[in-house]
């Protein structure tokens, strides 16, 4: 194999730096080998769950034409890997929006369930259910744009107010 493979539980990522058409051919050969390995080892791979994605800041017009197990895999503009949304334009906007939505859900659920809870229970619920959502993978996707920071801060402020009020 000339490509790099990363495995985690039931996730598999295969990637290669593409500089020219020869590199694209090498990646396709590795995808073919992966498909052959899966058949030999009675492993099921669902090509419809596979996504080729190109990480590059510049716009490239040539489509990616990779296939896995004789199935063409349509190019994607983003993919989720281990709970982190990776975007082809190297932006973290989708990740931040996803985390904010998930954190609001967790916070509203917590506030609904603990309407009359004591402050220790509310603090514990916040630390256990809301904060991990906001912090998951933050070392990777740490936002630097003001708008992304402010939407994350708005959830954090509301959660802190809930978790630290006095009865």
CA distances 64 to 26, 27, 34, 37, Å, are 14, 11, 18, 23
Q: What is the pTM of this model?
A: 0.79
Contact assessment for residue 126 and residue 74, using Cβ atoms and an 8 Å cutoff? no
In order along its 167 residues, the chain shows pLDDT tens digits of 899 999 888 888 999 998 888 999 999 999 999 999 999 999 888 888 889 998 876 666 777 889 999 899 998 999 999 889 999 988 889 999 999 999 999 999 988 888 777 778 888 888 898 889 988 988 777 777 788 888 888 888 888 888 776 55
**Closest CA relative to residue 155, chosen from 91, 111, 119, 94:** 111
Residue 123 and residue 144: Cα distance in Å, rounded? 28
């Amino acid at each position: 194999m000339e490509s790099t493979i990363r495995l985690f539980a039931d996730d598999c990522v295969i990637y290669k730096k593409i500089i020219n058409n020869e590199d694209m051919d090498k990646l396709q050969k590795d995808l073919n080998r992966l498909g052959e390995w899966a058949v030999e080892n009675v492993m099921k791979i669902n090509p419809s769950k596979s996504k080729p994605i190109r990480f590059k800041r510049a716009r490239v017009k040539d489509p990616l034409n990779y296939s896995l197990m004789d199935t063409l895999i349509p190019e994607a503009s983003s993919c989720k890997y281990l709970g982190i949304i990776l975007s082809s334009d190297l932006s973290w906007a989708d990740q931040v929006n996803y985390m904010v939505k998930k954190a609001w859900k967790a916070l509203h659920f917590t506030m609904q369930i603990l309407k009359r809870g004591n402050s220790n229970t509310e603090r514990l619920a916040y630390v256990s259910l809301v904060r991990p959502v906001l912090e998951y993978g933050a070392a990777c996707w740490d936002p630097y744009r003001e708008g992304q920071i402010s939407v994350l801060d708005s959830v954090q402020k509301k959660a802190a107010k809930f978790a630290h009020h006095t009865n």
